[in-house]
Structure 1
Amino acid sequence: MAIRAGRTEDIPRDQLTGALRRGAVKKHVAAIHVSGKLTLLQRKLSNVLLLNAYDTLTDQQTHLIDARTLCMMIGYNSNDMDTLKQSLRGLAETVAEWDMLDDKGQQEWGVSSLLSYAKLKAGVCEYAYSPALAAKLNDPKVFALINLNIQRRFTSGHALALYENCYRFVRTKSTGWWSLDLFRRLMGVDDSPYYQSYKHLNAKIIKPSVAEVNKTSNIVVTPEVRKRGREVVEIRFHIAENPQLAILDLDDGEGLRNTPVYAKLRELGVSDRLARQWVTEHGAVHVSEKLDYVAGQGGVQNPVSYLTAALRDDYKATAADAPRPVTSERGVKLARVRDLAGARTPTQRDADKRLFLAQLESAAARDDFERHGWMSALNYHAIVAFWAEMVPED
């Protein structure tokens, strides 16, 4: 499929999402292709929407994401709702088509719009997938999530499209042969007479896209063509992991799910993906320490939010380092900011910081915020005003 997603200091590391490992299935590599022209921003938008919905893809009919968060995650101006509307419209008008064998070996063909609907209301984007497409996207044998940190590195829509269509074959190490007609459709140039010439297609699409994928992503692709006489009629891509960038991918989770710390996180209410991310980033010992710290505080109303802050700010189980009650007006306001920021999702927290940084004109102010975050003394008044606008008090 020509979209992929995942959840990096493009995006903080606690938001990295690695590929879901394919199960041991018999020749079950799905072909999900997208017709139509998706811009680079539309591709990134589709990925963020999918990642946001992934945990409840087949359990919920509709999904919600803060519109400003969504804009920031994909590089839109947070106030440019017209561009966001145009991109959402493009996804709703774009068709996904699959043709594959099901678990019983029977051929299955299907077609669906990428989004069955989307709407913006009160600063929130609500959207949905068709049930049939949601089931395909939720199946790790069919679809692999793409790391958003890798996605953000791409500057070419054609290169991102090539990466997305190659990445799901990383386990089999080859895409298999594609007809040039199919390849042109995957790259979004099927209706251009100019690219009917393989010479032009190779020079303008294939070579630049391969170069960017190999420089930018966690895989290395090598094209191979098949000719009929002197005419090129098919192309396939051999795929190898890029050892220099493979660190951007997280463990697939099978091993982590069997650890005691993972079980404690899940019992606390942490999602599967976030639990794996925390253990991968911070290590099992460190996460266990923070779990014990939170458990020792007593009366914590939102333990997941508190654990998020404890991991982020490295709360210590000592009287000197543990957060202490505050009574001054300034302290009360900063404590509220800390709680509000801690209650946001990792995606929202990254977008909040980006949005606030974009409003700072002084280099000194930006530097102080980079070092101290929402506790930046130099930006105290701006921080309080920012959060008052973001989350007005009752």
Structure 2
Amino acid sequence: MRKEQTPKDLTGPLRRGSVKKNVAAIHVSGKLTLLQRKLSNVLLLNAYDTLVHQNTHKIDAQTLCAMIGYNSNDMETLKASLRGLVETLAEWDMLDENGQQEWGVSSLLAYAKLKGGVCEYSYSSALAEKLHDPKVFALINLNIQKRFTSGHALALYENCYRFVRTRSTGWWELETFRRLMGVNDSAYYEVFKHLNAKVIKPAVAEVNKTSNIIVTPETRKMGRSVTHIRFKIKDNPQLAILDIDDGSGVRNSPTYAALIGQGVSDRLAKQWIAEHGAEYVGAKLAYVGERRDVQNPVSYLQAALRDDYAAPVVEAAPTSERGRKLAIVRDLVAGRSPTQRDADKRLFMARLDGAARLDFEKHGWMSALNAEGIFAFWEELMPEAFEL
């Protein structure tokens, strides 16, 4: 069982009376493959906004496969990975709001189902509550996740990133650490020299090269034997992609206020500003505000940020057949979730090269050079999309 952090170990806003609630973490068994671990994170991100309000969540299987690097026709591999998530345990040991110790365990997924090209899945209510609480569980940025090539490295990153606010994981018994890395059933890794050479050092090297944090292992011995390990954590200045403070600076900006005024959530407003910059977001806000045909400004703004909508391109030939189809594409994109939009772009860009690819990277779905290909792509995805 890990050692509870004390207030003197903490920095900044965490040095408060409620600090013990802020250092709790969920430990997920490390016996997941790299693709299973990526799958778990994509499913959580897709469900996050409705995690505690909906019992079930859905994502189309094609999107899911594209996001985690599966062949979209390889449903057996997807089934095996989903089965693995249902069979994997998530465990927590923390203080509740009344200061009482709470231990719990749950399947990572309560169930998963594939039907009609759609993946439906659910979390247990107890686990969903913990996963949705940012004090307990940190979402993993998919742009960082994509960089990892080792399951051990991604497992180490996840288990360290959830303690990024406290700057230390706290001491783990080696048995606990081996379980988190998925090597607890191997006699070979019971020898610390082997564990260090084959798991710890390579994983630390990849985390520090690949992610937005730098981790440093420290060990504790009894006699000559290593019995515990912890990881000190600091920001990686070269890859500081995520805003991990409390958002107080962002919340004072005019752009943040404008987003909140449009009905954007606090979490999403901070995320957009962190990812795109306040100036860029402000420009897209102004662009959306000038349009009179937008029924859902927040969804349209999300698409405008994602695909870099620009008035001259979007407005081209509004009364033509091509203009009609472009408007439909714009609305189709706006109606997709962030996860789906990313997958859609990846799938379409895989078909492009040279000038066509450069034009799509610049103009997104409003690319004039790729118009016919874009229409064909969306017609494949949604066969009746352009019918009158």
TM-score, normalised by the number of residues in structure 1 = 0.85
Partner of 1:381: 372
Q: Trace 1:190-339 onto structure 2 (pairs within 5 A).
A: 190-249=184-243, 252-311=246-305, 312-316=307-311, 323-324=315-316, 326-339=318-331
Once the two structures are superposed, residues 79-101 of structure 1 have per-residue CA deviations (whole angstroms, 9 ceiling, x without a partner) of: 22221111111000111111222
In structure 1, the residue matched to 2:7 is none
SS in structure 2 of the partner of residue 145 of structure 1: coil
What are the superposed Cα offsets for residues 293-346 of structure 1, whole Å, 9 maximum, x if unpaired? Answer: 433332422323433454443535xxx677155333333333322332243233
Match of 1:352 among 344, 350, 358: 344
SS in 1 for 2:374: helix
Once the two structures are TM-superposed, the CA of residue 355 in structure 1 deviates from its matched residue by 0.8
Match of 2:137 among 134, 143, 151: 143
**How far, CA to CA, are the matches of 1:287 and 1:369 in structure 2?**
20
Matched-pair identity in %: 73
**How many residues are matched?**
370
1:179-201 CA deviation, whole Å, 9 max, x = no partner? Answer: 11111101000001111111111
Q: Is the deviation greater in 159-168 or in 290-299?
A: 290-299
Task: Label 1:110 to 1:378 Cα distance change in 2 as closer, same or farther (>3 A).
Answer: same
User: Closer, same or farther in 2 for the Cα pair 1:281/1:194, shift >3 Å?
Assistant: closer
| Contact 1:102-1:108 within 8 A present in 2 as well | yes
> Residue by residue, what CA displacement relative to the aligned partner does 1:342-391 show, whole Å, maximum 9, x if unpaired?
4323322221111112234x545434433443344444433222111112
1:27 aligns with 2:20: yes
Partner of 1:58: 52
How far apart in 2 are the matches of 1:68 and 1:277? 26
Q: Which runs of no fewer than 5 residues in structure 1 stay unpaired?
A: 1-20
Distance 1:285 1:375, change over 3 A: closer
Pairing 1:72–2:66 present: yes
State the alpha-carbon separation in 1 of the partners of residues 25 and 290 from structure 2: 50
Is 1:188 the counterpart of 2:179? The answer is no
Cα distance in 2 for residues equivalent to 1:286 and 1:31: 35
Give the one of 168, 179, 188 matched to 2:162.
Answer: 168
The 8 Å contact of residues 63 and 128 in structure 1, kept in 2 or not, is answered as yes
1:111-139 Cα deviation digits (max 9, x unpaired): 10000011122222111110111111122
2:6 alignment partner in structure 1: none
| TM-score of the superposed pair, with normalisation by structure 2 | 0.86
SS of the equivalent of 1:246 reads: coil
Tell me if 1:392 matches 2:387: no
How far apart are the structure 1 equivalents of 2:15 and 2:253? 20
User: 2:236, 2:99 → 1: CA distance?
Assistant: 33
Partner-residue secondary structure (3-state), 2:377: helix
Structure 2 unpaired stretches of 5+: 1-12
Distance 1:159 1:242 in 2: 16
Which of residues 307, 332, 343 in structure 1 aligns to 2:335? 343
SS in 2 for 1:60: coil
Higher relative contact order (CA 8 A, sep 6+): 1
In structure 1, C-alpha distance between the alignment counterparts of 2:14 and 2:339, rounded to whole Å: 26
> Following the alignment from structure 2 to structure 1, what is the Cα–Cα distance between the partners of residues 76 and 238?
39
Contact 2:42-2:339 within 8 A present in 1 as well: no
Report matched runs for 1:3-152 at 5 Å: 24=16, 25-28=18-21, 29-35=23-29, 37-152=31-146
Q: Distance in 2 between matches of 1:234 and 1:75?
A: 35
C-alpha offsets along residues 137-157 of structure 1, whole Å, 9 cap, x if unaligned?
A: 122221111211111111110
Query: 2:29, 2:314 → 1: CA distance?
Result: 54
Contact 1:23 1:140 in 2 (8 A): no
Is 1:177 the counterpart of 2:177? The answer is: no
- Which amino acid letter does the alignment assign opposite residue 355 of structure 1? L
Asked if the contact 1:250/1:277 (under 8 Å) is kept, the reply is: no
The AA in structure 2 aligned to 1:383 is I
CA distance in 2, matches of 1:365, 1:287: 26
Flag the 1:300–1:140 CA change in 2: closer, same or farther, 3 A: closer
Q: After superposition, what is the alpha-carbon deviation per residue over 1:227-256, rounded to whole angstroms, capped at 9, x for unaligned? A: 222211111112222122124446643443
